[in-house]
Structure 1
Amino acid sequence: MKIRRILATAVAVAVTTPAVLLSVTPAFADTAPTAQTQAKPTLEELEKAAAEAQEAYDKALAAKTAAYQVVEDAMSDTAPLTVAANDAKKAADDAGAAKTAADQAVTNAKAALDALPETATKEERTAAETAVTGAEAIAATAAADKTAADTKAEEARDAADDARVAALRAYSVTQKALTEAKDAKTAADDALAKAREEEENENQDCVAEPGLTTVLTGVPDSITAGTTTSLSLRVSNRTGKTLEAVTAHAFTHATDKSGLKETDKLLHLQWSTASSPKWHSIGGDHLINGIGPLKNGAHADIKLRLTIDASAPAGNGAAFVSADYTNENGSCGGNPDIAMYDFGVDKAAKPKPGKTDSGTTGSGTGTGTTGTTGSGTTGTTRTSGGSGPSAQGTASSNPVTTGGSLASTGSSSATPQLALASGAAVALGAAAMFTVRRRRTGTQV
């Protein structure tokens, strides 16, 4: 009997579990040690910070508006200091004109004195000399008045210019303050918007995404205990969109022939990728973190190797693979169909007397169609349809489809397969949890 047909009934709930779990609040979170984690601002704190930033921005805008009006007033022709400067300049101009006239009067008086004929009387000469002296006195006074007027005009002009410069400097300060207030407001608004979006996304349901597929190849009909089998997992994105963080999951389940004893602990699964070539053991979380972003139409290949301890009893086993994703905007999903690949577990062959395990080769031939794996001695894998040993220390991995069946164990009872199906149901139910969005908490170290 095909184990998948048994699973159709035995794990009906487990198969539908992903669709149910996709609609619940996320249960998994990546957390950092408490001692290294700073408290994340609450939504209320961010709302308060945004309100304070808005108030500061409004004040800065009002200050800039007022400062601009001061600049306008300082630049106006009707500004008091500007009017005073203009008046002082006019007074200086008038004083300059008066000095010019006085200087001309001195020149004229001296010319008149010089023009007196030799026949001029003493009274005429004295009058001319007196005119020169009087003109020079007036010119001296006009010169002093002009100097004083020029000084006042310069001081008034400097005062008006200083007022304009001060107004412009004050306006520049308010411009800078407004820019800083706007930046602070934008940062506070963005932080609040992001927090609200995260809060919405935390309550957002993950979606079933059948376009994210997983295919496992290289699974033989049976695997001999004490050997390692190479497998290949391909994760493909046919969702029509780029997935920013894709994670694969893989795990195995096995029982002895009776189906009453689980032997999961004797099976060890490891993964490796081109970007992370070192072999990594797959732990109880069943995670494979070597994928990352995956564009639409792209795929990622992951090498797997399954090692079964030599102490494992003969029985039945199965491998399960799935994948899910999360995006920066909080959207998430996964394929609710968890692919299962079944295989038989053959007991490790005992070495012949007088020979060590590493030096023993098998000589029997396998049975069945070409491509299935027969049993051989420890450390040796044989393919059916031929005779003689194959390369020692390796295991053949003939690809099978997701519809593959368990190799015949020789048991006349369906109990072992039912037991494996029951265990697989538990495994499927656990794996389904990984299609739920894993919430990532914002931490700072």
Structure 2
Amino acid sequence: MQIRQILATAAVAAVTTPVALLSVSPAYADTKPAAQTQEKPSIAELKKAVKEARQAYRAAVAAVEALNQKIDDADLPSNPLVAARDRAKVDADAAAGKKSEADAAVTAAQTKLDNAKTEDEKAAAQKELDAAKLTAGTAASGKTDADAALTKAQTALDDFRVDLFRQLNQAQKDVKATRAAKEAAEKALADAKDEAGEPGEPEEPTDPECSEGSDLKAALSGLPSKVAAGSTVDFRLRLTNTTERTLEAVVPYVEVVAFAKADDKDITSKLHLKAKQGGTWKSLGAGDVAGEFTNVKSGGHVEVPLRLSIDRSTPAGEGVSFAAGAHFNQDASCGYSDLATYYFTINPVGAGNSTTPADKGNKPKPQGSASPVATPGSGNGSGTTDGSLASTGSSSALPTIGLAGGAAVVVGAGAVYVMRRRKADANS
């Protein structure tokens, strides 16, 4: 698969996945009234229907909570797939060490042979070199097998996580459908009681929904279109409050993903992302929040300084950065932005970085656009121009999915996690 095709697939996943993950209820049930029958249902029958609809709605909500808990637990050592992956990683690291030692022995033996003076010395050195090469071949084969086992174990864990998110998406649809059915049943009962002159019953409260892609605008700026291996570049994320109210908590998310040009291998592990929080640069793992801001006024924005470092050993490749924001308020309302998506090229060591920002070198996707870099706010060095930097950190409970599309899933999953936790806190 071509690299651009891989990254394009990742970009599509970045746009679609958070919408599926973060929407508390993605699809309304069909609540159109059935054809009128000769006999209207009795109030007793309507009460029974309301009771059953409420039970179905509560069961659907409970199913979502259960899946959220499974997602929280997915990365714990108690998960057999995590334990298998960790064992495979230990074996792969050990195999890599043996291969490195064997390769060094081959080099040493070759040097001894090159420096041999007499025929006896040459014969002994040749024998040693042959033995070292045999050992190196065995070590190389062992490393290949260990790497394959690690890939298999990681893939199994990734598939498990992705399946959980698919189940979560369906469970959220069930919440939407049962909520609509509950509200329809309650309305039918209320109308029947009103017609009969009986007092109505209070409706069960339902959770407010998260708005999709309209409350916040995410924009990345300053990231070069070409970055050399071994270098570090700074750029920024801006989140703008496009609502007419103050957002009490705003949380940014940023991810980077990269693939080698030669073989399309995932080289994301060679990219290191940091965010400046409270004047300190903090590393961001997959799914980590890039800070937390409070009381962002209508029309205001916050900015997060970002820093991307690329290992010197990184091969030429192409990468993509994703950024998004989520917000939550004490009344349990919430929302999130579309994702800003930018491509960049990774050049070999010494090739230098471009002076052209990524947002100039290639047009951003419709879900994000560049905005000018604002002057950092005074005081905490957070880069915020509106709102305040709150306590920050990252959650080790957030899942990490290794592939490009999975990176986009993590951004959405992170927002789900934070919103759910904050909603629980607000209702406690």
**TM-score over 0.5 (shorter chain):** no
TM-score with structure 2 length normalisation? 0.44
Structure label with greater radius of gyration:
1
TM-score with structure 1 length normalisation? 0.43
